Amino acid sequence: AAYPDAEREKARQYWNQEARREGLRAELLERKAVEHVLARAKVNIKRISIEEAQAKDEEERA
């Protein structure tokens, strides 16, 4: 289907906008994934430091 130039330009702009939207969506998902991993790492670090503190307590009591 041969588009007149104006139609072709409109279609091209639409696809460019869609591509940009998809790019932003992917970037956002990536950022959320990174934040999720970092949050879990923080929780693990806290848990480890609590466990270390408890172990130290038990050593001092023994």
Q: How many domains does the chain have?
A: 1
> How far is it, in rounded angstroms, from Cα 62 to Cα 58?
6
Q: Judge whether residue 1 has pLDDT over 60.
A: no
Whole-structure pTM value: 0.53
pLDDT at 37: 93
Q: Which domain holds residue 25?
A: 1-62
Helix, strand, coil proportions of the chain in percent (round to 5)?
Answer: 90, 0, 10
The length of the chain is 62
> How far is it, in rounded angstroms, from Cα 60 to Cα 54?
10
pLDDT at 2: 65
pLDDT at 4: 84
